[in-house]
Amino acid sequence: MIIKSPEKMFEFGFQIGKQVQASDVIVLTGDLGSGKTLLTQGIGKALGFSQITSPTFVLARVHRGKPNLVHVDAYRLLDAPINSFSDLDLSSYLESSVFVIEWGIDFVDQLSDEYLEILISMGNTADEREIKVNKIGKRWQDFSL
């Protein structure tokens, strides 16, 4: 799928956000500036949140609502011991939260064996992005995008 503008990336996130529920886990992978946080802002907007910023320096932000939105940037954990992710104790939020984990493919199995993986690649223009989606587990098989 090709996303042609930042506004379309936000809308893509919003469409995902309208369908998610507590315990859902979404993993985003893409280069710096590819639109991971913008996509998360769209998901957050659909869940009723308006102040979504990148958690790069704090690793995780919990936006409280029904459900919560837990936004994690695991980039700084990639070279850390594998238990660094579990030390964050994010699993205690799983039943009441939707998770969006940037750079989380190495850690997602600590939360769930069912997740939506979204790979974002830079496109042919400054604003264009190529999106690949992998639906892992039964929860996501009928999920429409």
pLDDT in tens, 22-65: 999 999 999 888 999 999 999 999 999 988 877 666 677 788 88
pTM of the model: 0.89
Nearest to 25 by CA among 75, 77, 90: 90
99/40 Cα distance (integer angstroms) = 10
Helix axes 36-46, 6-17, angle to 10 degrees: 40
Who contacts 63 (Cβ-Cβ below 8 Å, separation ≥6)? 44, 47, 49, 51, 52, 69, 70, 71
The top-level CATH class assigned to 2-138 is alpha beta
Helices (H), the chain: 6-17, 36-46, 83-86, 138-141
* Average predicted confidence (pLDDT) for the chain: 88
